[in-house]
A = this chain, B = another copy of it.
Amino acid sequence: MARSMTVKQQAASATKGEQEIRGLVEAWSQALEAKDITGLTANYAPDAVLFDIKPPFRVRGVAAIRQVWEEYLPCLPAKFESERREFHMTAGEDAAFVHCLHHVRPLGETSRGPDTWIRVTVCYRKIGGKWQVVHEHVSLPFEPRTGQVSFITDPEG
């Protein structure tokens, strides 16, 4: 259904839950661009579980997730834009999830790392009337024959 609607129509027909989740996603991007760890983890449940793109394979709890960000933020370009493709959202009454491809687009300099899109799934639960991230899964695929990571250079590909 969403494909036949304009963005404006989608926004108008969005449920309250969809509007709330979209707000959290946009706030997260703003926090990422500002390298603001408190903002990045503001809506995580205390016992959230992260499956991150790099080891360790599972990070338990918001304190440990903050530590992941502490180590990762210095690797980001000085200025960049957080961009998404193929954003899909399902928001029910008390559970919701989104999945998309995410990309850090450097502004005014070349990228410091491989210029790849990454796959992101974020799962939310409404706890005490407030949406919280309880699980996040971030990854790239790998080639079974070589064991090498497979970067995503074309999100439409």
Q: Which residues of A contact B (CB under 8 A)?
A: 49, 51-58, 86, 88, 90-97, 99, 101, 113, 119, 121, 123, 125-126, 134-135, 137, 139-144, 147-150, 152, 157
Contacts and interface: CB of A to CB of B under 8 A. Distances in A.
A99 B51 contact: yes
Given A88-B135, A137-B99, A147 B144 contact: no
A97 B95 contact: yes
A96 B58 CA distance: 21
B134 A51 contact: no
Interface of A is mostly: strand
A49 B149 contact: no
A30 to B, nearest CB: 24
Q: Which 5 A-B pairs have the closest CB atoms?
A: A92-B95, A139-B139, A92-B94, A142-B149, A95-B95
A152 B95 contact: no
Contacts of A96: 92, 95
17 contacts: A51-B121, A51-B139, A52-B141, A54-B141, A57-B140, A57-B152, A88-B135, A90-B95, A90-B123, A90-B134, A93-B93, A97-B97, A97-B123, A113-B144, A119-B139, A147-B148, A147-B149
